[in-house]
A and B are shown apart, each in its own frame.
Chain A
Amino acid sequence: MSLHLNINGDDRLSVKDPLTPLVDVLRDEFFLTGAKVVCREGFCGACTVLLDGRPVMSCLIPVGLADGCTVRTVESLASVGALSPLQQAMEQHDAVQCGMCFPGMMISLTHFLEHTPNPNRDQLKSALTGNICRCTGYERIIDAALSLAAERSSGVQRDDHGKS
């Protein structure tokens, strides 16, 4: 049984058992190691990816259910040489931490900000309830996301180098 996935814009074929967690296929078969394997229970969010545009815990998705779907991992957020606006905001707020939870946070926030353009602090905290940080650095991450939302609502656009 072969499974067809579109991962970060590329058509890929997986030959893994359809019950294999999607995160293992991403990491072990396609070497996309941005999504992290941590709890394997859907609690920590380190493996969050976008599946057909929805944030999901890829440790809980059997790859068979992703057959024919589009998958977007943290590797897709930056284009060549340029961070995404969210990533730029994180860098500017010195919010980047150890890298374990961060890819999942970026995916969750990317989706959230696309659907909630003008969030308040509580909404952002709720959006991140499934992304656990062991460095306890939530506040700067939320500050960065709020600043990006504020920029967007005031019409400021970041260029590819992060300049407003």
Chain B
Amino acid sequence: MPMTDDRRFYVARSLPDALAALVDGGQAAVPLAGATWIMRAPIRQERQDLSYVAISRIDELRNVEILDHEIRIGACVTHAELATSLAFLPECRAIGQAAGGSANPAVRQVATIGGNLCASKFAAADLVPALMCLQAELDLETPRGPERISLEQFLQVRTSMEPGWLLRRVVVTRAACRSVHVRLPLRKAGDYPVAIVSMAAVLSTSGLVTSARVVVGSVEPAARRWKRLEADLTGCTLDAASAAEKAEKYSEDFRGRDGIEAPGWYRVKVLTSLVRRAVQAIQQES
């Protein structure tokens, strides 16, 4: 028997209400925030028999809290809201750039941070590498209770979690680091980026890199850290040419995915230039 409209689409009024609806719906129920990814499911030829629990009207999921030690971002905060909220925080520059430069203005008004992190088939999600380079953690609500995990860990488990979970918020610890988000779309007009490099670095007073995190997005099916490059940048003076040479040396660490925007080899090839640009941008940060 086909689902009724009311079963396929439920607007949750509170977090407990949403969780109850998701548990009740089991494997066939998924949260729906901005809907920009889900509405394109027919184009991707994905299953269309799911039921959706709309969570975008839950007030506590729409807040950005900027505290002294951390920033808490509700799962339904849109890209546009995020870019505006974090514009004055230099340590979050990578997130602001990712949120303010992704897709196009109208999509940014609707697409949410939670949707960006939970759309497991969206390889070109901008916020994933940006948040990962700043070591973001996620607060989940699960049938067993609240749980906090790193974004890096979440990417490993997000497709295998038991039904009834919900991403509540993203937590970013405030630290004295410089960060940048560099992307290469084929045009400026809202294309998916061919490749993304998000970088965060802590510099000593003498200019040495004391810690570095480099995350590559859109090249492989999911974003991941470039650990050999991170290790080789640490302890050195930040230099764009040298960083690009190292990126070239370690480019074999990635196997690019073939896609409509670019073949896999090209995605890997451009990483060297993106790393150079990222380092130059970090050097220019005051």
Contact = CB atoms under 8 A, between A and B. Distances in A.
Interface of A: 1, 17-19, 21, 40-43, 45, 48, 54-57, 59-62, 64-65, 67, 108, 112, 125-127, 129-130, 132
B11 A130 contact: no
A1 B6 CA distance: 7
B207 interface: no
Contacts of B9: 1, 17-19, 62, 64
Contact of B189 (A19, A59, A112, A129): A129
B5 A18 contact: yes
Contacts of A41: 40, 43
A41 B141 CA distance: 30
Contacts of A18: 5, 8-9
B47 to A, nearest CB: 13
B43 A129 contact: no
Contacts of B36: 42, 57, 60
A41 B6 CA distance: 25
16 contacts: A19-B52, A21-B39, A42-B36, A42-B104, A45-B104, A55-B106, A57-B106, A57-B110, A59-B39, A62-B35, A64-B11, A64-B54, A126-B188, A127-B105, A130-B107, A130-B190
Contacts of A61: 35, 39, 110
Contacts of A64: 9, 11, 54
A21 B110 CA distance: 14
Contacts of A62: 9, 32, 35, 39, 52
B56 interface: yes
A40 B43 contact: yes
B109 interface: yes
Contacts of A55: 105-106, 109
Contacts of A48: 106
A79 to B, nearest CB: 25
A1 B189 contact: no
B103 interface: yes
Interface in B174-192: 188-190
B8 A42 contact: no
Interface of B is mostly: mixed
Interface residues of B, number: 25
Nearest to A41: B40
A36 to B, nearest CB: 14
Given A1-B6, A56-B110, A108 B105 contact: yes
B120 to A, nearest CB: 19
Given A1-B6, A19-B9, A130 B103 contact: yes
Interface in B82-131: 103-107, 109-110
B35 A45 contact: no
Nearest to A49: B106
Given A43-B104, A64-B54, 19 more contacts: A1-B6, A18-B8, A40-B40, A40-B43, A42-B36, A42-B104, A42-B107, A43-B190, A45-B106, A48-B106, A54-B109, A55-B105, A57-B107, A60-B35, A60-B110, A65-B54, A112-B105, A126-B188, A130-B189
Contacts of A19: 8-9, 52
B8 A129 contact: no
A66 to B, nearest CB: 10
Given A61-B110, A65-B35, A65-B56, A129 B40 contact: no
A130 B39 contact: no
Interface string B157-189: 000000000000000000000000000000011
A132 to B, nearest CB: 6
Contacts of A57: 36, 106-107, 110
B39 A60 contact: yes
Nearest to B8: A19
